[in-house]
Structure 1
Amino acid sequence: MNHFIIEGEDFARAAYNALAFTPARSVVPAAILHVEAAEGYFLATDTYAIGRASVGPLEGFCSTAEMELSRTDLSELDKIGRSCKGQLRVTVRDGGELIAAGIQANVQTVIPRRSFEYDKGVWKLCTSLLEKLDRENVNVPELLALDPGLLSRFGKIKTPKGTSPMLDLKITAHDEPILIRCGPLFTGALMPVDREVAEKSAARGVDFLW
């Protein structure tokens, strides 16, 4: 059994931000909470956009743990983080169960172990993609097409008090994912629209709007 202690507000914000990247009809029906040593993060994707909300530093955790979470679980963790009015003690049992309990307030929630049907390798791909984009040299393309519905998810991100909610985008090519940072604890990626596919649509045409 492992546990860590974190400010409830910080934990709630990270869970809320991950929820924005776990749409109801996603091909990836879960998000994950990954904790290692004194750091952790929520990671979510539907393969078109990625959101990684960092949590930490954490007090008391001594090993690595990872668990799957549903949209309902993320909402519940957001709720208890806001209602605990102070620090939250989060315990990850060996069987995969997560217990979040307020230290100052008498509130608690239990998240059972989940197991969803999808390719679990997606989390390794997401992590390696974010790391790759962070290393690449910037070569800004002249034209870039985006799905505004996907971009709007980043407008829902909550940042810590006193930090800017502005997005910082790193664009490397018109057909490569865009690395996005929002505040000091959120990193994401957004897939651009494939122009060769989109230009076949009568509504857009070969030249899009140009």
Structure 2
Amino acid sequence: MTEITVDGEGFARAAYNALAFTPARSCVPAAMLYVTEDELYFLATDTYTIGRPSLGPTRGAKPARIELTRTDLQNLDKLGRACKGDLRITFPGDRGLIASGVHTQVQEAIPDRAGNLSYDRKIWDLCHDLLQNLERCDPHIPELLALDPALLSRFGKIKTPKGSSPMLDMRITSATEPILIKCGPGFTGVLMPVDRKIAGQSTTRGNEFLW
């Protein structure tokens, strides 16, 4: 059994940030919560953006992971804010999750959702690989870059710890490659640029958009 204690406010913030990247009509009806020997983090995507809020080091915890629905993320956000201090996260045999306040009588039990959700779970390996590859890229800025403002707006919902900057930092490698985004000390994300050739087929915009 895996058990780890985290700051409730920080956990709530991370769950909230993961929810922003799990839209209601997403083709991926789940987000993931991972515990590794080095880190505790969420991972969420709709294939156009990726959100990876991290709670930082876990100090040698036993690895575990669980699928979460939007409702699960909302409940974990509320629980983290309600616990008023530390939150104990327990993975009983990797068959679900139990989160409970260390100093308050609040608790949330989440069963394993894997048998109830239908989607291609290879998406999580693809997200991990993409994030690792983008971290290693040598950046250069393209002349023109097209973005969907609706997708970019998700990053405006990110909560950062008090006293940290909410500014986005972007690593742009080309006009067609995904953009690596950092925000605050614990959030990493990815944003897909718009395909200019496809988007430029609109008669009101054209290939050069407004340029």
TM-score bracket, normalised by the shorter chain, equals over 0.9
Higher mean Cα deviation, 29-38 or 45-54?
29-38
Aligned residues: 209
Q: Give the drift of 1:62.
A: 3.1
- The CA distance in 1 between the partners of 2:74 and 2:178, in whole Å, is 28
Normalised TM-score (structure 2): 0.96
Paired residue for 1:63? 62
Whether the 8 Å CA contact 1:6–1:56 is kept in 2: the answer is no
Paired residue for 1:7? 7
Whether the 8 Å CA contact 1:6–1:89 is kept in 2: the answer is yes
Write the letter of the residue equivalent to 2:207.
V
Paired residue for 1:153? 154
Write the letter of the residue equivalent to 2:157.
K
Where in structure 2 are the equivalents of 1:39-50 lying within 5 Å?
A: 39-50=39-50
Deviations 1:32-75 (A, max 9, x none): 0010124111000000000000013336x631111100000000
Write the letter of the residue equivalent to 1:176.
E
- The CA distance in 2 between the partners of 1:96 and 1:17, in whole Å, is 24
Where in structure 2 are the equivalents of 1:61-100 lying within 5 Å?
A: 62-100=61-99
Higher mean Cα deviation, 17-26 or 35-44?
35-44
Paired residue for 1:182? 183
Paired residue for 2:51? 51
- The CA distance in 1 between the partners of 2:156 and 2:128, in whole Å, is 22
- Alpha-carbon spacing, 1:138–1:38, altered in 2? closer, same or farther (3 Å): closer
Write the letter of the residue equivalent to 1:25.
R
- The CA distance in 2 between the partners of 1:56 and 1:182, in whole Å, is 14
* Aligned partner of residue 119 in structure 1, secondary structure: coil
- The CA distance in 1 between the partners of 2:25 and 2:142, in whole Å, is 32
Where in structure 2 are the equivalents of 1:128-207 lying within 5 Å?
A: 128-207=129-208
Whether the 8 Å CA contact 1:177–1:192 is kept in 2: the answer is yes
Structure 1 unaligned residues grouped into runs of 5+: none
Paired residue for 2:25? 25
- The CA distance in 2 between the partners of 1:56 and 1:86, in whole Å, is 17
Q: Give the drift of 1:190.
A: 0.3
> Percent same amino acid among aligned pairs?
61
Deviation >4 Å, runs of 4+ = none
- The CA distance in 2 between the partners of 1:127 and 1:203, in whole Å, is 38
Q: Give the drift of 1:121.
A: 0.9
Normalised TM-score (structure 1): 0.96
Structure 2 unaligned residues grouped into runs of 5+: none
Q: Give the drift of 1:96.
A: 1.6
Whether the 8 Å CA contact 1:13–1:159 is kept in 2: the answer is yes
Where in structure 2 are the equivalents of 1:113-132 lying within 5 Å?
A: 113-115=112-114, 116-132=117-133
Higher mean Cα deviation, 199-208 or 178-187?
199-208
- The CA distance in 2 between the partners of 1:124 and 1:108, in whole Å, is 31
- The CA distance in 2 between the partners of 1:38 and 1:106, in whole Å, is 29
